[in-house]
Structure 1
Amino acid sequence: MKASSPRIFLTGAPRVGKTTVVDELTERLKEAGLRPGGIVTAEVRKNGRRVGFTTTEIDGPAALIAHQNWTDGPRVGRYHVNVSTFEQIALPALDCAAAHADVIVVDEIGRMELFSDAFVSRLEKLLASPHPLVATAQLAPHPLLDDLKAREDIELVTVSETNRDSLAARVASRLIADLACPP
């Protein structure tokens, strides 16, 4: 792998489709014979309304990490976050991705996830590694995330209603080409 592998942060307004882009990207990479690894965060909906969030290892286990009815844990909006449960899924998934994946996927880097110092440490290690990495990052300011976004090796791509349908294909093509080039 090249030391200059892409580090792409997909950012954009809430609910613009960042996770949808990552889901499609992951499928495109698999179709190309590559192994994506990492985590995906998804909404939990009940009666058409968002009530919580899960974190899932790509092709692995999932866990509910935040819910509006919980009363313990750090609060983000109307949700309380179970940082320990998040770490039980995310940390092994990211370690496995670092050891075995062709492309590391981190969906999402947001306020909920940033409550975990261990996650932040793991993310910094991944960014120092030669692995290509694609992450979704909240648009709203956050001191730690702002520092990550400002790194010279991070390419920020804004997901919008006009580009979200073609973005996964473009990012997949770039990653596939990058991985096909010898170091």
Structure 2
Amino acid sequence: MPTRILLEGRPGVGKTTVVRRLAALLLHRRAIGFTTEEIRQGGTRTGFALETLDSGLRAVLAHVDLPGPPRVGRYGVDVGVMERLALPALRSAAAEPARGELVLIDELGSMELACAAFRDLIRCLFTSDIDIVATVHAKSAPFTDALKRRTDIELVQVNRANRDALPGDLAARFESP
């Protein structure tokens, strides 16, 4: 049975760092997916960039200067970034799960989930025979709340006390035979 883990935590607690470190620690698994990070200008957050794990492609997912729609808070979201960068490798993993692949998704948030094709693909991935680690906000949202309630999901709280040890702990789980 595949392992499905949701890393839940408040903004800024280190969820993205856990995913990046986990990907770097994997020796016998191929990481597929993406991470997101803040774009800052003059100490102010102005947007978010998405970067793929397998190819290192990077693009602006959301920014105060993007018109949208959709809009999430003050950010316009470029859904095309999800479609061009995030979806191709994830679709491949869903269609033909390969032994040794681990899907890492940072994150299942409002900006990413604004892409209907991404939501559909996430539903498919969570019923496929592939291991998944994804990050989610601690706040309530219908899509992620439904995932959190599934019996096949392990919900792991990320906090300042455990964030440094989590990547190694998770890597050990996924690297063991």
TM-score by length of 1: 0.89
Q: Does 2:28 align with 1:33? A: yes
**Runs (5+) with no aligned partner, structure 1:** none
1:47 to 37, 42, 46: 42
User: 1:16-95 counterparts in 2 under 5 A?
Assistant: 16-29=13-26, 32-60=27-55, 61-95=57-91
Normalized per residue, which structure has more helix?
1
Aligned residues: 173
Q: Distance in 2 between matches of 1:72 and 1:115?
A: 11
Q: Distance in 1 between matches of 2:165 and 2:126?
A: 26
Q: Distance in 2 between matches of 1:47 and 1:111?
A: 25
Q: Distance in 1 between matches of 2:138 and 2:93?
A: 25
User: What percent identity do the matched residue pairs reach?
Assistant: 42
Q: Could you tell which deviates more after superposition, 96-105 or 48-57?
A: 96-105
Q: Distance in 2 between matches of 1:67 and 1:14?
A: 17
CA shift, 1:33, in A, is 2.7
Q: Distance in 2 between matches of 1:33 and 1:148?
A: 27
Contact 2:28/2:175 (<8 A) preserved: no
Q: Distance in 2 between matches of 1:51 and 1:59?
A: 26
Contact 1:38/1:97 (<8 A) preserved: no
**Cα deviation 1:80-134 (Å, max 9, x = unaligned):** 1111222211111312444456111111001111111110111111111111100
CA shift, 1:40, in A, is 1.1
Amino acid of the structure 2 residue aligned with 1:118 = A
Q: Could you tell which deviates more after superposition, 163-172 or 68-77?
A: 68-77
Q: Does 2:2 align with 1:5? A: yes
CA shift, 1:169, in A, is 0.6
Aligned Cα RMSD in Å?
1.4
- SS in structure 2 of the partner of residue 39 of structure 1: strand
CA shift, 1:48, in A, is 2.4
**Cα deviation 1:30-62 (Å, max 9, x = unaligned):** xx2321111111111222222111111113212
- SS in structure 2 of the partner of residue 80 of structure 1: strand
